């Protein structure tokens, strides 16, 4: 691509599966529980001939990691090339199914569409068309968009009846603006591509919209940032429209109400809300009502969505001890019913509490005392025992595959 720096690194050079697995083994022995397979532009190319995927090489890698790190909490990847999926659909589907079998929920495969405008694609040597990228999104949704508790390879899965965990593997879409040939129609081409993803019942984990950086030694070095600067006002309006029209409904599809996010690490307070994230590739930003202690890990259940974040309550929520803010955040509750719930304490069962509000949806979020609550995945996949270190601590690592 005109702006790409990857060719400056030379030809891909893959580490062998035993080499990577051995590093994971050593790190796991020292308490590391969260891993990302990084430094690769296309995970499907791992162990292959530079073009076609090698599913067996990926199976050896992923199965080996799971064997030496049975208490793993996070296993995510970096990038995936949609062109590979289009050129080698069957091998790619097999490889994606293998990844989704061994990874952990919420994994994201970044797709470098960059632009859905054919004029921009031609002038910048972009190798995937909008139609081809849409097909690659479909394949990843089918092969990896299932949730723990469902039959593997039968995605996409969403709605209130879906199991209450994030999908195993979804695409992420990268769009870059300010490229050579960009015009007013470029913004509409990109909008239409994302509308098509929504309209066809597909999911993407996130959409990254950025302006180009012109690095020395690339073709974009000659163009610079002039186009990006000329279109800055239009870019800002377009980005806001995407957040409103695409991001929020897509986020609700990816994480329906009641979706459980294990081990959200609380990071900072802002305006009476506590924000945190899971460890992972592009983790959701989670806002909890009220100010909770920082540096703790909380299981969370999603109750609402913003453009780039979600609102959640601790899971499960005990109606006998929950705060007014937490109860108010629950679906169909509000401040009035939250007050009624507090006045009606104590409760001996969830049924007693839901009867106050007369809304069966509440049972998805509540538990009284030490009652066992359902997870969509067994404890082994959650990686017990839990780590107590946060992002950047000794319990997370990125392992280079290249």
Domains recognised in the chain with CATH numbers: 6-254 (3.80.30.20), 260-374 (1.10.150.320)
Which of 358 and 390 is assigned the larger pLDDT? 358
Mean pLDDT, residues 76-91:
97
- Tell me the mean pLDDT in the region 96-124: 97
- pLDDT at residue 393 in the model: 38
Q: What is the mean pLDDT of residues 371-391?
A: 44
How confident is residue 372, by pLDDT bands cut at 50, 70 and 90? low
Mind listing the pLDDT tens digit for each residue in 220-254? Answer: 877 778 898 999 999 999 999 999 999 999 999 99
CB-count burial class (<10 Å; 0-12, 13-18, 19+) for 271: exposed
How far is it, in rounded angstroms, from Cα 352 to Cα 278? Answer: 33
The whole-model pTM stands at: 0.90
What is the phi-psi region of residue 400: left when phi exceeds 0, alpha when psi lies from -120 to 50, beta otherwise? beta
Percent of the chain at pLDDT exceeding 90 = 76
Helices (H) and strands (E) in the chain, counts: 15, 11
* Least confident stretch, 140-154, 214-228, 325-339: 214-228
Mean pLDDT of 36-62: 93
**Cα first-last separation, the chain:** 20
Sign of CA dihedral 241, 247, 250, 251: negative
Lowest mean pLDDT among 206-220, 227-241, 255-269: 206-220
Q: How far apart are alpha carbons 15 and 150 in whole angstroms?
A: 33
% residues pLDDT > 70 (the chain): 93
Cα(341)–Cα(110) distance, rounded to whole angstroms? 44
């Amino acid at each position: 691509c005109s702006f790409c720096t990857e060719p400056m690194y030379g030809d891909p050079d893959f580490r062998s599966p035993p080499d990577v697995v051995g590093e994971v083994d050593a790190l796991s022995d020292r308490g590391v529980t969260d891993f990302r397979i990084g430094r690769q532009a296309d995970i499907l190319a791992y162990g292959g001939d530079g073009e076609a995927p090698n599913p067996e090489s990926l199976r050896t890698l992923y199965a080996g990691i799971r064997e030496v790190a049975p208490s793993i909490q996070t296993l995510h990847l970096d990038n995936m090339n949609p062109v590979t999926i289009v050129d080698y659909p069957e091998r790619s589907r097999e490889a994606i199914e293998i990844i989704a079998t061994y990874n952990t929920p919420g994994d994201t495969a970044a797709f470098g569409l960059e632009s859905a405008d054919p004029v921009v694609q031609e002038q910048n040597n972009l190798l995937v068309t909008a139609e081809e990228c849409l097909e690659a999104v479909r394949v990843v949704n089918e092969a990896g968009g299932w949730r723990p508790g469902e039959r593997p390879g039968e995605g996409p899965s969403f709605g209130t009846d879906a199991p209450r965990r994030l999908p195993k593997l979804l695409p992420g879409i990268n769009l870059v603006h300010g490229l050579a040939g960009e015009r007013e129609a470029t913004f509409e081409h990109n909008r239409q591509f994302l509308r098509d993803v929504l309209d066809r019942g597909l999911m993407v984990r996130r959409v990254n919209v950025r302006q180009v950086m012109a690095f020395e030694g690339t073709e974009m070095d000659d163009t610079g940032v002039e186009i990006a600067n000329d279109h800055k006002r239009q870019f800002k309006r377009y980005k806001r429209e995407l957040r409103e029209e695409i991001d929020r409904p897509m986020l609700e599809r990816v994480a329906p109400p009641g979706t459980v996010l294990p081990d959200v690490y609380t990071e900072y307070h802002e305006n009476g809300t506590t924000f945190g994230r899971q460890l992972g590739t592009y983790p959701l930003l989670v806002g909890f009502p009220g100010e909770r202690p920082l540096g703790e890990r909380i299981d969370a259940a999603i109750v609402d969505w913003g453009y780039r974040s979600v609102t959640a309550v601790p899971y499960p929520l005990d109606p006998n001890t929950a705060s007014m803010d937490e109860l108010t955040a629950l679906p169909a509750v509000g401040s009035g019913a939250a007050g009624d719930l507090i006045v009606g304490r104590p409760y001996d069962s969830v049924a007693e509490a839901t009867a106050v509000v007369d809304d069966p949806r509440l049972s998805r979020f509540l538990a009284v005392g030490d009652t066992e609550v359902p997870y969509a995945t067994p404890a082994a996949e959650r990686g017990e025992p839990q780590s107590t270190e946060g992002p950047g601590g000794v319990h997370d690592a990125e392992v280079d595959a290249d």
